[in-house]
Structure 1
């Protein structure tokens, strides 16, 4: 079930971010991922429109959309990947916002594959200023 994020979901969302990042963004290293996890908790969650996918009271994934229809965070618990949770969260975001944009690290084949299958299209490439990693800018436009 998809629902609005509540403050009680914070620890679960940060844990999912951390676990999924260690899998998809291992090239960033544990220390950097831990630093970003703290930023997710303190900065990004409070400023985003976040929805969670929960089952039996357990949060299994989340999507955070920032001002301007930018997907700032989209993660599914690694042991739940491939079960339709990501598809459900992204469909919900598309229904709510229409056009979405996001960045995906070039060295993230898991994310790139998901976004391509979902229908996102590349519109730019850049290097992340904060960390110096190449990333691809993608856009999804609802029909």
Structure 2
């Protein structure tokens, strides 16, 4: 079941974010992610519309949309990836918003493939603001 996040979900969402981020970005130091933890929890999460995928009473993934267009995060518990949770969250967001954009590390090839399979296309490439890695800007628009 996909539903809007509640305050009780925040610790679990942050656990998923930290673990999946570290696993999904081995090319970036873990210290970088730990250093961003409080910003994500206290600034970014409260400023986004976040939806969780809960199965059998356990949150397994989430998607956050900022300003009705930017997917600021899509993370699934690492051990649960590949079973459709991410796709379900993307499809849920597509039903709510007519156009979506996101930024993904170019080196995160599995994420780039996933977003392409969900209908996103690369529209730009840029350097990340706070590290030396390149990002793809990807977009999807309802037809």
Is the pair's TM-score, using the shorter chain for normalization, greater than 0.5?
yes
Shorter-chain TM band: over 0.9
In structure 2, what is the Cα distance between the partners aligned to 1:25 and 1:38?
19
Kindly state the Cα deviation for residue 37 of structure 1 after the two structures are TM-superposed.
2.2
In structure 2, what is the Cα distance between the partners aligned to 1:97 and 1:5?
17
Partner of 1:115: 115
Partner of 2:126: 126
TM-score, length-normalised on structure 1? Answer: 0.96
Kindly report which structure 2 residues correspond to 1:94-109, keeping only aligned pairs within 5 A, or say none.
Answer: 94-109=94-109
Deviations 1:38-72 (A, max 9, x none): 21111111000000000122110000000150000
Unmatched runs of 5 consecutive residues or more in structure 1: none
Give the secondary structure class of the aligned counterpart of 2:83. Answer: coil
Partner of 1:82: 82
In structure 2, what is the Cα distance between the partners aligned to 1:56 and 1:40?
26
Partner of 2:30: 30
Q: Is the 8 A contact 2:51 2:63 kept in 1?
A: yes
Say what the alpha-carbon RMSD is for the aligned residues: 0.9
Q: How many residue pairs get matched? A: 143
Give the secondary structure class of the aligned counterpart of 1:39. Answer: helix
Give the secondary structure class of the aligned counterpart of 2:19. Answer: helix
TM-score, length-normalised on structure 2? Answer: 0.96
Over 2 Å off, 4+ runs: none
Unmatched runs of 5 consecutive residues or more in structure 2: none
